[in-house]
Amino acid sequence: MRIAICTDNFYPTSRGTENAVNSIASSLVSLGNEVYVFAPLKGKDDGDKKLPYKIERAYSLPVMCDEQINFPQITHRFKKELNSFAPDIIHAHTPFNVGNYCIDYAKKKNIPSVLTIHTRFSYTYDMHVPFNKNNLLHKIVVKSLMTPVKKAVAKADCITTVSNSCVKDEIKHYGVSKNVFVVRNGHSIQSNEKKQCESLTDDAIHLCFAGNISREKNIAFMLRVCKLLSDRSIPYSFDLFGEGQDEKLFKAMASKMNLLPNVSFRGMKKHQELFSLYEKKDIFLFPSIFDNDSLAAIESRSKGLITLAIKNTGPSERIREGIDGFCLDDSENAFADKIQELYNMKLNAPDEFLKLKNNAVNQIVLSWDEVAKQYLEIYRELLTKNKC
């Protein structure tokens, strides 16, 4: 099967969508398919030649509010390459410029199209549009920004996303009448990389977060939780791994709240280094409402981290309540209370605490090859319907 995949976000920047697109494309190739990825040009990336699939880079316009987001332009070369590839199916991982073009191309060529929604766009726009949410201008701007998203959703033959909460809280608000399929993210962690956690002897609780350092990730909430821990004299450390456009803002906030040196911004880490750092932590703090199915949360559990998330969010769907993590009320006090409880468990009932960590290690997550097989089933069903 010839599969054209298009995306607005791709390497060398590395966040959830980029990693998911690469993993899906690589697995589709390993399963015997021909894959062509259409992606933005972002700096020089000499790694393209090492990828197992063909890739076309399109000149892109950066988005000023986030240097990692781009809008690829539909050039003559882009159109020529897509036409020459003659795909059997289009899989868009973006509802914007390149996604809408490729979905229109699929309609024109009478081939099926799949659109995967990775992001809660309405939540993001609500946060970044610089007007009060009750202001009419705010509502007009958000509605305008959402127009291409709704158009792509309406035109695609099939919609997929990575969490049930995204279907309920985001996609259903687009007025979707077609079925939406949940295909969760996979993992690249080999079984020999998983190992049981050892007994912990220190007398502090060690928290961490990994991801983009931005307002969407609810980092201000995490810092307020840390402030409560400090006020309660709970010995703790909190390391944030990653970088992003709001890093200076949150460093200043942590300093103003007198959280240093308990709170440390550690910068971007390569996977293997990050995995080693996870092994020295206890809890993955992830109160994000924005995320749907975080790869960082999946990977941290494989290293024995207990996840704390807000109830009824994408991150909460992976948690086995009380077994390898906890789903809590949207309250800093609720998070601080649970961390204090886990701190006491670590000191006074270390076997119970260790059991939680090892339960996290033993989570069951599909491999990317298994995820790719789910997509192939969707492709085949669409192709069969298309022939009728």
Which comes out higher in pLDDT, residue 340 or 197?
340
The pLDDT of residue 131 is: 65
- CA 170 vs CA 137, 165, 179, 292: distances in Å: 21, 8, 14, 10
DSSP state of 168: H
Looking at residue 67, what is its pLDDT? 47
Q: What's the sign of the alpha-carbon dihedral 105, 63, 298, 306?
A: negative
Identify the band that residue 88 occupies on the pLDDT scale cut at 50, 70 and 90. very high
Least confident of 30-34, 80-84, 361-365: 361-365
| pLDDT tens digit sequence for 299-310 | 899 999 999 999
| Interval 259-276: pLDDT, tens | 998 999 999 998 889 989
Residue 68 predicted with pLDDT over 70: no
Q: Which residues of 130-166 are buried (b: 16+ CB within 10 A; e: fewer)?
A: eeeeeeeebeebbeebbebbbbbbebbbbbbbbbbbb
For residue range 156-170, list pLDDT tens digits in order. Answer: 999 999 998 888 877
325-328, strands of its sheet edge to edge? 263-267, 236-241, 205-210, 283-285, 306-310, 325-328
- Lowest mean pLDDT across 86-90, 95-99, 155-159, 342-346: 95-99
Gyration radius from the chain CA atoms = 22
pLDDT of amino acid 39: 82
pLDDT given for residue 174 in this prediction: 78
Lowest mean per-residue pLDDT among 130-139, 222-231, 334-343: 130-139
Query: Token pair of 352, please?
Result: 């119970």
Q: In whole angstroms, what is the distance from residue 304 CA to residue 369 CA? A: 24
The Cα 89–Cα 106 span in angstroms is 7
Angle of helix 295-302 relative to helix 271-278, nearest 10 degrees, comes to: 50
Q: CA-CA distance, 19 to 11, in Å (whole number)?
A: 8
Window from 280-284, 286-290, 294-298, 316-320 with minimum mean pLDDT: 294-298
**How much is the pLDDT for 69?**
54
Average pLDDT over residues 272-299: 91
Q: What is the pLDDT of residue 10?
A: 78
Exposure of 199 in the CB half-sphere (CA atoms within 13 A): 6
Give alpha helix (H) positions in the chain: 16-30, 76-85, 97-109, 121-128, 136-155, 164-169, 219-231, 247-256, 271-278, 295-302, 332-348, 350-361, 368-387
The pTM is what?
0.87
CA separation for the pair 323, 80 (Å, rounded): 52
Would you state the structure tokens that stand for residue 382, as one six-digit string?
A: 């669409």
